[in-house]
Amino acid sequence: MKIDDGTGTGNQAKVDINHRVHTQSITETEAEHAAEIGDSYNLNTGLISITGDATLMYFKNNEDKPFIIQAIALGSFEGITHSDDPLITLIRNPTAGDLITDATAISMNQNRNFGSTKTVVADVYKGKVGGTITGGNDAAILQVAPGSRAYYGIDFVLPKGASIAIKLTANASSGSANYYCAIIGFLKDEASS
């Protein structure tokens, strides 16, 4: 048995004695594919000086495609004495607070494909000590190890108009330290789904 190429090149597919067609393929994750086509992003607040509870980051997807948040990265430096372990709360679709109204741009808004000039169409803001965020629903609480870097795989899907906020409960009794917060994610290629 032979299978001829329908485009007229004369190529044929190999079929073995068990009637299996031989093929070669390359498998990649959605995230790798998004990075290759310039639709993957690293959004980072830069350093925020922390002395107590704070808002850290706000992201609202304004793209037509869903934005997949693969992970939240959080860095906390030494310098605070904690009465208990700090934690972050992820808030689904918050509606108000100075985290949104201050609209302070994040420090790093970068495409993960260094050859791409695309930017994500989104509202992405950094927070501050004593910052406010209200409305929405708590979606996750994640423990923070003081003086470390944490990487939380979450795989949240934010369709157009959906948003997320990240706030810190520092449980600080004294001192100060720098924190940073990052969202690592990509736009879903719905044409390939």
Contacts of 83 (CB under 8 A, 6+ apart): 171, 172, 173
Q: Would you list the domain boundaries of the chain? A: 40-192
Strands (E), the chain: 3-4, 12-13, 40-44, 48-50, 54-61, 67-76, 80-82, 87-92, 108-111, 122-126, 137-143, 149-158, 163-169, 172-175, 177-187
pLDDT greater than 80 at residue 191: no
Q: With respect to CATH, is domain 40-192 assigned 2.60.120.510? A: yes
Which residues is 167 bridged to in the sheet?
Answer: 55, 89
Q: What is the CA radius of gyration of the chain?
A: 22
Residue closest to 172 by CA, chosen among 48, 54, 55: 54
Task: Answer whether 90's CB lies under 8 Å from 144's CB.
Answer: no
Q: Look up the pTM and report it.
A: 0.87
Query: What residue type is assigned to position 89 of the chain?
Result: T
Query: Between these two residues, 12 and 158, which has the higher pLDDT value?
Result: 158
pLDDT greater than 60 at residue 20: yes
The pair of three-digit structure tokens given for residue 147, joined into one six-digit string = 């003086």
Beta strands at 177-187 and 163-169: parallel, antiparallel or unpaired: unpaired
The pair of three-digit structure tokens given for residue 174, joined into one six-digit string = 């004294």
The pair of three-digit structure tokens given for residue 44, joined into one six-digit string = 């980072």
Per-residue confidence (pLDDT) for residue 10, from 0 to 100: 78
> What is the band of 6 on the pLDDT scale with cuts at 50, 70, 90?
confident
Q: In the chain, what percentage of residues exceed pLDDT 70? A: 98
